[in-house]
Amino acid sequence: MNLYEFSYGIIHWLVDLVNHLWYWLGDWLPWALGDFFTAVGDFAASDGHLSVMTMLLETLIIVIVALINVLNFLWIFRKLSGRILDFYGPYYVGYRIGGWLQNLADGMKLFVKEIIVPAKADKVGFLLAPIIYVGSSLLILATIPFSENFGLSTNPSGEYVPAGALFAIAAFAIAPFTILLAGWSSNNKYTLIGGMRSAAQMMSYEIPLLLTVASVFLLAGSFNFVDIVDMQHDIWFAIPLFIGFVVFLVCLMAEVEIIPFDLPEAEAELVEGWTTEYGGMRFGLFYMTTAVRSYAGGALATALFLGGWHGPSFIPDEIWFLIKAYLVFTVFMWVTWSLPRVRIDQMLGIGWKRLLPLAVLNLFIAAVVKSAGWV
Amino acid sequence: MAEAKGRTTGLVARPLWRTGKQIVRTLILGRPNTVLYPHHKLDLPLGYRGKHVVDFKRCIGCGNCVTICPNDCMWLEKLEDPELGKIERPGIDFGRCLFCGLCVEVCPTAAIHETVEFELADHERQKLRSGPKELRDDTYADKIPEERPKRSLPVLDLSKCTGCEKCAEECPEICIAMMPIEKVERSKPEITLAKCTSCGKCVAACSEQALTMMDVYDSYFDMPEPKLKLAECTGCGACARACPADAIYMLEMPGTEKVLKDGKKGKPKKRAVFVLEKCVGCGRCFRACRFHAIDMPGVRK
């Protein structure tokens, strides 16, 4: 049973339950009103309504799973950063489970804080930017399946969104635009510099990133996550395309904007960068969204290079996928707390002088491997 | 980019290797260095300046600590102790104490010590004031190793001394001199403490047991010395009663007896005599004298 069938079953059961009421009302009430309720019941039972509601429920399930994972990721982030910097990290809130509840407590505290809009800020842009940022970051997860049975699909056969990988990459790239919007509308020199840096940074990492992804598409011959993962049943793409994998991880860190590449935030130079004027729960949302994007990045790296949900069958497929995504995230954290921040004038040099030739070389290797028929 | 040519790999790999070792150390092999304070306590060193304790048996109640306190947060309190009788011991207001440790250093008998106890916070300002009873700990000073330098020195009890000069003859360093006391027609041994080698021969020579060897702590501070203006002294004995170190003796001055109406002689006048080797420089005699007969430069009235 895949996610679509599961959701469809729940929606069908709910609609049947409620339709009892509508049809009973339709029978009981006078003619015009009764016809109306009967029509409501008919509409609820129609195929179009059922499939739309099913997809909404699927989305809800995927978002909830994503947010639970995000809590784990934040916990790993804080715990691991603590251990690397020789302190304990979250400890007391949720003592028995290693301080796991600390993020919930922090979120609760941020919820009760006041929302402050600077007097000279562009109000529409200021309030719109976080929504687009968080929304687009959650959108990345829409097409990434955890297994053949767990992912957002539009029909009972379990076929996922065609060109899902392309969509995920595209959704990933929306964020710099919102960062620029937020930086501009905050009307603050630090936020503006942060926003501009985000756009400048995107110029440098996006091209090598897409070239390495293109090499994966070349080998797999498909834009679909399920096909790409199935092609890795025998050998992970990370092995023939090792250079590409490394380039992809580096570009992904730039995409997620964690520390070696967090130029738009750069708290040593720009206060808090483009998030300077955002306080309270908006700050919390950005904090959470960084974890969402790390999670999406880990999932992308897993699906494209690390064989997705393939693994020994004593662990369920979905868990395999998550284990790999968590490992990628852990490597991210390791790099984050090891390396100093790249300077803004070095960023383009790294992207175009170092990563781009490697990405092209990787594309060449992929072409050779494909034409020789090794994969 | 140009200057980092050829070293880029090392610049990335070496920090990763370093933090990798750190992860293994803190996550797998052991624990982080941080001490989880309320649950686990840090082992503080002996010289830590925390809450004070006062050894009631060592303390003589001289009030040097009260005088030297830069924040004026100490005071002397009169107590009735079943063992020690009527005594005066210091109390401390921890709300104002800056834990400078001057009171510990100035104490002539090393009776006051600072412990490693530092959790002194309270909800009320008044509760931060610790009287002598809260500070009392008669065993603490004996438990810790002595840090103050001390010497074994002969200490004179002038009431037993006969002025026989045996100690001055016996002293190999010639640091004991018999000094005549003005108007008393007696002399007392004065010991130059800088030259004394703590040999103890003077104590052995004394037939009256007026000299005893006692442990005396060296002072880091300049000690003000009392000086008597003999013309003003009435012989009332207030200074001798006030002296916490028993360094003042009231001696009779022969030849000052008043002839009473019935022709008999009355009691002679008395004067104060200071044994400066025992003096702790507290200035209590100076404050006790109502006739301005004692001069003590550098002491507040």
Please, which pLDDT band fits residue B98 given cuts at 50, 70 and 90?
A: very high
Instruction: Give whole-number Cα distances, A123 to A181, A193, A284, in Å.
Output: 11, 19, 19
Residue A54 near residue A11 (C-beta atoms within 8 A): yes
Please indicate, yes or no, if residue A277 is contained in any of the structural domains. yes
Query: Residue A270 above 80 pLDDT?
Result: yes
Does a structural domain hold residue A9?
Answer: yes
| A219 close to A227: Cβ distance less than 8 angstroms | no
DSSP string, A294-330: HHHHHHHHHHHHS-TT-S-TTS-HHHHHHHHHHHHHH
User: Which pLDDT does position B90 carry in this prediction?
Assistant: 92
CB contact under 8 A, B36 and A335: no
| Residue B7 pLDDT | 66
Q: Does residue A67 have a pLDDT over 70?
A: yes
CB nearest to B32's CB, from A88, A346, A349: A88
| 3-class SS letters over B164-181 | CCHHHHHCCCCCEEEEEE
Report which of B84, B104, B81 is spatially closest to residue B92, judged by C-alpha positions.
B104
**Whole domain around residue A10: which residue ranges?**
4-45
What length is written for chain A?
375
| pLDDT, tens digit, 9 for 90 and up, residues A282-299 | 888 888 888 888 888 888
Give me the half-sphere count of Cα atoms (radius 13 Å) on the Cβ side of residue A71.
16
Q: Is A311 exposed, middle or buried (0-12, 13-18, 19+ CB in 10 A)?
A: middle
Among chain A residues, the shortest Cα distance to B36 is held by: A88
A52-64 per-position pLDDT tens digit: 888 888 888 888 8
**List of domains in chain B:** 52-143 (3.30.70.3270), 149-216 (3.30.70.3270), 219-301 (3.30.70.20)
Look at residue A158 and tell me whether its pLDDT is greater than 70.
Answer: no
Contact A349 B19 (CB under 8 A): no
Question: Does A313 fall in a domain?
Answer: yes
Q: How does residue B6 score in pLDDT terms, banded at 50, 70 and 90?
A: low
Mean per-residue pLDDT, B209-228 = 86
Taking CA atoms, A295 is separated from A71, A141, B113, B281, in Å, by: 10, 9, 57, 74
- Do both A130 and A24 map to the same domain? no
Q: What residue of B is the nearest CA neighbor of A353?
A: B1
Residues A139 and A281 in one domain: yes
What residues pair up with A160 in beta bridges, in sequence order? A153
Which region among A146-155, A319-328, B210-219 has the lowest average model confidence (pLDDT)?
A: A146-155
Q: What is the mean pLDDT of residues B191-216?
A: 86
Chain B interface includes A343 (CB < 8 A) = no
Q: Which of A75, A78, A79, A86 to mutate to test the interface with B (most CBs of B within 10 A)?
A: A86
Q: Do A22 and A151 fall into the same domain?
A: no
Task: For Cα atoms B123, B124, B127, give the angle at the middle one, nearest 5 degrees.
Answer: 115
What pLDDT does residue B5 have? 55
Q: Give the mean model confidence (pLDDT) for residues B46-63.
A: 89
Is residue A197 in a domain? yes
What confidence score (pLDDT) does residue A261 get? 87
Contacts of B200 (CB under 8 A, 6+ apart): B152, B154, B213
Arithmetic mean of pLDDT, A13-21: 86
Helical pair A47-84 and A317-336, crossing angle rounded to 10 deg: 40
Are the CB atoms for B32 and A84 separated by under 8 Å? no
Q: Give tens-digit pLDDT for A218-247.
A: 888 888 888 888 888 888 888 888 888 999
- Please check whether residues A13 and A141 belong to one and the same domain: no
Question: Both A160 and A301 in a single domain?
Answer: yes
pLDDT for the residue numbered A148 = 79
Q: What is the DSSP letter of A188?
A: -
Asked if residue A329 and residue A190 are part of one domain, the reply reads yes
Residue B108 has pLDDT above 60, yes or no: yes
Q: Is pLDDT at A41 greater than 70 in this prediction? A: yes
Dihedral angle computed from the Cα positions of residues A296, A300, A303 and A304, in that order, rounded to the nearest 10 degrees: 180
Q: With contact defined as beta carbons under 8 Å apart, do B70 and B100 qualify?
A: yes
- Asked if the structure places residue A82 within a domain, the reply is no
Coil, strand or helix: which one is B259?
strand
A234 with A148, same domain: the answer is yes
User: For position B1, what pLDDT does the model report?
Assistant: 45
User: What is the predicted pLDDT for the residue at B93?
Assistant: 92
Cβ contact A353–B1 (<8 Å): yes
Whether residue A353 lies within 8 A of chain B, CB to CB, comes out as yes
Beta partners for A117? none
**Residues A324-356: pLDDT tens digits?**
989 999 898 889 888 888 888 888 888 888 889
Question: Does the beta-carbon distance from A86 to B33 stay under 8 Å?
Answer: yes
Same domain? For A40 and A124 the reply is no
Would residue A53 count as lying in a domain?
Answer: no
pLDDT at B56 over 80: yes
Look over chain A and give the mean of its residue pLDDT values, rounded to a whole number: 85
Confidence (pLDDT) at A107 = 87
Of the segments A229-238, A295-304, B2-11, which one has the largest average pLDDT value? A295-304
How far is A172 from A293, CA to CA, in rounded Å?
8
Residue for token digits 């793409």? A237
| A167 shares a domain with A24 | no
Q: Which of A95, A204, A337, A338 to mutate to test the interface with B (most CBs of B within 10 A)?
A: A338
Inspect the interface and report whether the beta carbons of B34 and A84 lie closer than 8 Å: no
Question: Which chain B residues are closer than 8 Å to A338 by Cβ?
Answer: 15-16, 18-19
Extract the tokens encoding A148: 């053949």
With respect to residue A83, please indicate whether it lies within any of the assigned structural domains.
no
Predicted confidence at residue A33, as pLDDT, reads: 79
Residue with tokens 């730039």: A254
Q: How confident is the model at residue B4 (pLDDT cuts 50, 70, 90)?
A: low
In a domain, A86, yes or no: no
The Cα B150–Cα B135 span in angstroms is 24
From chain A residues 68-97, the ones with a CB under 8 A of any chain B CB are 80, 82-84, 86-88, 91
- Provide the pLDDT for residue B123: 92
Nearest chain B residue to A350 by CA distance is B1
Q: Closest partner residue to A83 among B12, B18, B23, by Cβ?
A: B23
Mean pLDDT of all residues in B93-113 = 90
**Domain total in chain A:** 2
User: A184 and A326: one domain?
Assistant: yes
pLDDT tens for A72-91 read 898 988 888 888 888 888 88
Alpha carbons A307 and A216: distance in angstroms, whole number = 12
pLDDT band of residue A361 (cuts 50, 70, 90) is very high
Q: B10 pLDDT exceeds 70? A: yes
Which strand ranges, in their side-by-side order, compose the sheet holding B74-81? Answer: B74-81, B85-93, B129-130
Specify the pLDDT at position B199.
86
Q: What is the pLDDT of residue B2?
A: 47
User: Are A174 and A291 found together in one domain?
Assistant: yes
Its pTM stands at 0.68
- The pLDDT, as a whole number, for residue A58 is 85
Give residue B265's pLDDT: 77
